[in-house]
Structure 1
Amino acid sequence: MQSFQYLRLENSSGLATIVLDRPETLNAINDAVLDELDQAFTMLERDDQTRVVMITGGGDKAFVAGGDIAAMRQMSVLEGEKFVYRGQEVLKKIEDSRKVVIAALNGYTLGGGLELALACDIRIASEKAKLGLPEVCIGLYPGWGGTQRLVRLAGKGIAKTLVFTGERISAEEARELGIVNKVVKHEELMTYCRTLAQKIMENSPIAVMQAKKAINQGSEISLDQALVLEAEAWLVNFSTEDRVEGLTSFLEKRKPHYQGK
């Protein structure tokens, strides 16, 4: 398996775990990290055995504390332009992945770190996690989808409050606002996420993939258009061997054996 400088990638029984591994910078994201995330997802997308990807942070303090401020301070306007578009490109690739992507938020999840988490399908937070979009506090504002995905997830009012103030909120506050799915004890975070991944992997891979497509794409269009999209994705799934296996196993009162066909 390909090795990386700033990521650790482990793959076991259909679950790939990506650890962002720059603990000395609280896993801050720079150009090199974006490139490695891009490469990792390109590789995983080609691997039909991988069903779920979990992303977490190295060390015990942060998921990702944001973009690399020291690197950004040295950027020209042209370099900044490349950086913002590159970040958007990589996060969109993660969002559009055929895999289910779980963000395991093990600490500070700020700025670009929260934007990365928002691009994932499911966000599980340690009770110690702190979340926020503090870019305005340093003369910037979120540019990797923070002003867009947060609105879609939590609404304009919540998004404006968090973006305009730069306030950090607790994991529990984030759960109450619908930004994270669940908060667990810090020491139970990885076990919980692996168990969640296993539950997902027990289901038909094609059904899960088509459901993700319907949810993601349907939320961006009108209800009438989304219902057509849903039906089309449903019919793709209905034509599969997995659909036959799922219905048959239910009637025969046994566990299904899905092949992804």
Structure 2
Amino acid sequence: MTETIDVQTRGRARWIILNRPARLNAINSTCIRECRAALAGAAADAAIRAIVFAGAGDRAFTAGADISELAGFGPAEVLAYNRGWLDLFREIELCRKPVIAAVHGWATGGGTELSLACDFVLCADDARFGLAEINIGVIPGAGAAVRLTRWLGRLRAKEILMLGRTMSGAEAVSLHLANRCVAADRLQAEVQALADELAEKAPLALGAAKASVNVGAEAGFDVALEYELQEFVRLFTSHDQKEGMRAFLEKRKPDYQGI
């Protein structure tokens, strides 16, 4: 049993639903631990082809960290606490399965940071992103400054971090922080449709594509090229590569096994 999340399997997608709606799904230490365990379980389950993070209720994806938990922390406590956030986000990025953020309502602070770690971000037209930590005397502590700077550049990253404004789902799409913005009553269906589409792809190739993009975004050019080549070559040891090319030649739908 979990205390702060609801874990559901829908088709071949595992939904990890932040389930503290009375607190706008604010994330505390227990939630971090439960999310990491649920993510690890989904990553290890061969039947699962995509992972979704979502929020319960109609008000929030997650409003971020539970301030009531960390307001009294000193440096030592907050260091240990934030290591959990860092670990969760890196585990999302390193997971060889596609991870989708289904964002509605409030998604400020840690909610925006969580979305930044995901591979796809679909948001509702009522979504509100933002990194407002500056307004309570701190900064994001789980990598947002680094990710935003590398993806958007210094000027845009400083604008988001130092002004602490909220932005709509449409604005997030325009900044390339979300893939698309849909009507709130369509969000779950759109996310499930994306998860189902991803589930039809070759799982090992999806993992290779994800890893190649993530490494390519950060590594030196020649290192990144070599990494992508090695991911490509490794796929030629798999059943799915043979099945995919055979199905193409035989003009039929491939049956990918993830092996």
Interval of TM-score (by shorter of Structure 1 and Structure 2): over 0.9
Find the counterpart in structure 1 of residue 71 from structure 2.
Answer: 73
Deviations 1:212-238 (A, max 9, x none): 111112211111111100000000112
- Unmatched segments (≥5 aa) in structure 2: none
Q: What TM-score do you get using the length of structure 1 for normalisation? A: 0.96
Find the counterpart in structure 2 of residue 87 from structure 1.
Answer: 85
Does the CA-based 8 Å contact 2:129-2:172 persist in structure 1?
A: yes
Does the CA-based 8 Å contact 1:154-1:179 persist in structure 2?
A: no
Q: Please, which of 204, 207, 221 is the counterpart of residue 206 of structure 1?
A: 204
Deviations 1:161-191 (A, max 9, x none): 0100001011111100111110011000010
Find the counterpart in structure 2 of residue 178 from structure 1.
Answer: 176
Q: Please, which of 191, 194, 205 is the counterpart of residue 193 of structure 1?
A: 191
- Could you tell me how far 1:239 is from its partner in structure 2? 2.2
- Distance of 2:249 and 2:83 partners within structure 1: 50
Does the CA-based 8 Å contact 2:106-2:127 persist in structure 1?
A: yes
Equivalent position amino acid for 2:190 in 1: Y
* 1:111 maps to 2:109: yes
The percent of aligned pairs where both chains have the same amino acid is 36
- Distance of 1:111 and 1:136 partners within structure 2: 10
- Distance of 1:74 and 1:227 partners within structure 2: 47
- Distance of 1:165 and 1:37 partners within structure 2: 30
Deviations 1:9-65 (A, max 9, x none): 011332000110011111111111111111111222221111100111111011111
* Root mean square deviation of aligned Cα: 1.0
Does the CA-based 8 Å contact 1:63-1:106 persist in structure 2?
A: yes
Deviations 1:51-110 (A, max 9, x none): 100111111011111111111112222111111222111111112112210000011111
Equivalent position amino acid for 2:93 in 1: E
Find the counterpart in structure 1 of residue 218 from structure 2.
Answer: 220
Matched residue count? 259
Equivalent position amino acid for 2:54 in 1: T
- Distance of 1:229 and 1:95 partners within structure 2: 16
* 1:149 maps to 2:138: no
Find the counterpart in structure 1 of residue 60 from structure 2.
Answer: 62
- Distance of 1:211 and 1:161 partners within structure 2: 31
Q: What TM-score do you get using the length of structure 2 for normalisation? A: 0.97
- Could you tell me how far 1:151 is from its partner in structure 2? 2.0
Instruction: Answer 1 or 2: higher relative contact order, Cα 8 Å, separation at least 6.
Output: 2
